[in-house]
């Protein structure tokens, strides 16, 4: 019975870690439009070397760094949700282990919520205050 639980936990962990790679990505083709035209988003212009970033380049770099850090923290929190689930499944009814697993899951979910809110706040601050929109 323990072997079946371990296999189930390993499969769940593998699906949660590698499952995101199965989500299709959306790409936007520019077509015959010149990427340096005025109606092309600034991110595409910057990626293709069209310039025009101006004085907010430093703010955009800081924003991207914060996004990467918050994304990393969110990934760590998601991994701890899986770890807590694994602890819960392998607790074998021991009240102390069950409580520890529930606590791990609860705190990691709180961490995920904080990461999502931090990401939203960073986007709001950068787009509305620094860029002046």
Any idea which of 56-60, 76-80, 116-120 has the lowest mean pLDDT?
56-60
Give the 3-state DSSP-derived string for the chain, with helices as H, strands as E and coil as C.
CHHHHHHHHHHHHHHHHHHHHHCCCCCCCCCCCCCCCCCCCHHHHHHCCCCCCHHHHHHHHHHHHHHHHHHHHHHHHHHHHHHHHHHHHCCCCCHHHHHHHHHHHHHHHHHHHHHHHHHHHHHHHHHHHHCCC
Taking alpha carbons only, the member of 101, 108, 74, 103 closest to residue 9 is: 101
Domain ranges of the chain: 53-133
Q: For the whole model, what pTM was predicted?
A: 0.52
Average pLDDT of the chain is: 74
Tell me the pLDDT tens digit for each residue of 24-77. 554 555 554 555 666 666 666 666 666 654 545 676 777 778 878 888 888 888
Work out the burial of residue 34: count CB atoms within 10 Å of its CB; fewer than 13 is exposed, 13-18 middle, 19 or more buried. Answer: exposed
């Amino acid at each position: 019975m323990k072997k079946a639980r371990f296999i189930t936990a390993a499969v769940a962990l593998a699906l949660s870690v590698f499952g995101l790679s199965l989500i299709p990505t959306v790409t936007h083709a520019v077509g015959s439009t010149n990427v340096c035209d005025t109606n092309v988003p600034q991110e595409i212009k910057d990626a293709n070397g069209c310039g025009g970033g101006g004085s907010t380049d430093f703010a955009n770099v800081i924003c991207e760094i914060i996004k990467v850090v918050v994304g990393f923290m969110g990934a760590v929190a998601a991994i701890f949700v899986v770890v807590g689930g694994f602890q819960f499944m392998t607790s074998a009814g021991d009240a102390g282990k069950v409580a520890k697993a529930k606590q791990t899951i609860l705190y990691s979910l709180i961490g995920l919520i904080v990461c999502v809110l931090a990401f939203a706040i960073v986007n709001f601050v950068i787009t509305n205050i620094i860029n002046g929109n």
